[in-house]
Amino acid sequence: MKQREDRPAEGGLPEYTAAAGTELVLVRHAETEWNRERRIQGHTDVALSPSGCEQARRLSLRLSREPIRAVYASDLARARATAEPLAAALGVPLQTTALLREVSFGAWEGLTTAEVEAGWPDEYAAWRHDSVSCRPPQGERIAEMQCRTLAFVAAILPTYPGERVAVVAHGGSVKAILCGLMGFPLSVWRRLRVDNTSVSRLVFAPLGPTLTLYNDTSHLE
């Protein structure tokens, strides 16, 4: 497998042709109390809410019937707890990595949008205008997060040629992976919607990956 650049240019499509036939199942973690309160989570370790635990159970019921060869997750608790029931049902080890973490929001973590606007009006306005180039105070640029998430994908794909792999991450990291693999400019990152425990699927072919399912939450209905 070859990637054209260590850091894909905005709008550039990495080459993953050696992974033809591999399917990547991307899942956002289940609901947390901070999701309910609309608080910024970032790298802060937040547990699942009771309804989030039920969402994880339903996700497991849905995906455990599939021939999923491996399950990876962000090392943050909300992603691990979402992935654990699925890995157990499949009988495969859960493998975790910090590369799949959400973007770090630094000083803004734990706060609501209104609290961020009140405390950092200029910085938040700049980030809202250009969330690709700007970073939260003590935080991380979205491009930096995308670089590490795509590095993770590039590293695991050769291990599972023609197989199905589940990756449980965060709204931001799932969107960053989708933008990078589909060749979307990173500037559309904030306009993509990825709901809690939603499932998106990418199937790799010689001409590049195809998005076959996006933000599906039918298992919660």
Encode pLDDT of 66-115 as tens digits. 999 999 999 999 999 999 999 999 999 999 999 999 999 999 999 999 99
What per-residue confidence (pLDDT) applies to 20? 78
Neighbours of 194 (CB within 10 A): 19
Whether 12 is in a domain gets the answer no
Whether 176 and 80 have beta carbons less than 8 Å apart is answered as no
Whether 124 is covered by a domain: the verdict is: no
**10 assigned to active site:** no
Tell me the pLDDT band of 12, cut-offs 50, 70 and 90.
very low
Number of domains in the chain: 1
Residue 5 lies in a domain: no
Q: Which residue has the higher pLDDT, 139 or 206?
A: 139
Q: What is the CATH number of the domain that holds 80?
A: 3.40.50.1240
- Look at residue 211 and tell me if it is in a domain: yes
What pLDDT shows up at residue 10? 40
The position carrying tokens 């910024």 is 40
Question: For the sheet containing 208-216, what is the strand order?
Answer: 94-97, 68-74, 164-169, 23-28, 199-205, 208-216
Which of 23, 31, 102, 140 is flagged as catalytic?
A: 102
164 CB contacts (<8 Å, ≥6 apart)?
Answer: 22, 23, 25, 66, 67, 68, 69
State yes or no: is 102 an active-site residue.
Answer: yes
Taking the C-alpha atoms of residue 46 and residue 112, their distance in angstroms, rounded to an integer, is 15
The domain containing residue 93 runs over which residues?
A: 17-104+140-220
Q: Is the pLDDT of residue 3 over 70?
A: no
Residue 53 lies inside a defined structural domain of this protein:
yes
pLDDT tens, residue by residue, 132-161: 889 999 999 999 999 999 999 999 988 999
> Is residue 130 in some structural domain?
no
* Residue 18 predicted with pLDDT over 70: no
pLDDT-based confidence at residue 17 (cuts at 50, 70, 90): low
The stretch 157-184 carries a mean pLDDT of 95
Catalytic residue chosen out of the listed positions 29, 31, 109, 170: 29
Say yes or no to pLDDT of 1 above 50.
no
Q: Is the pLDDT of residue 5 over 50?
A: no
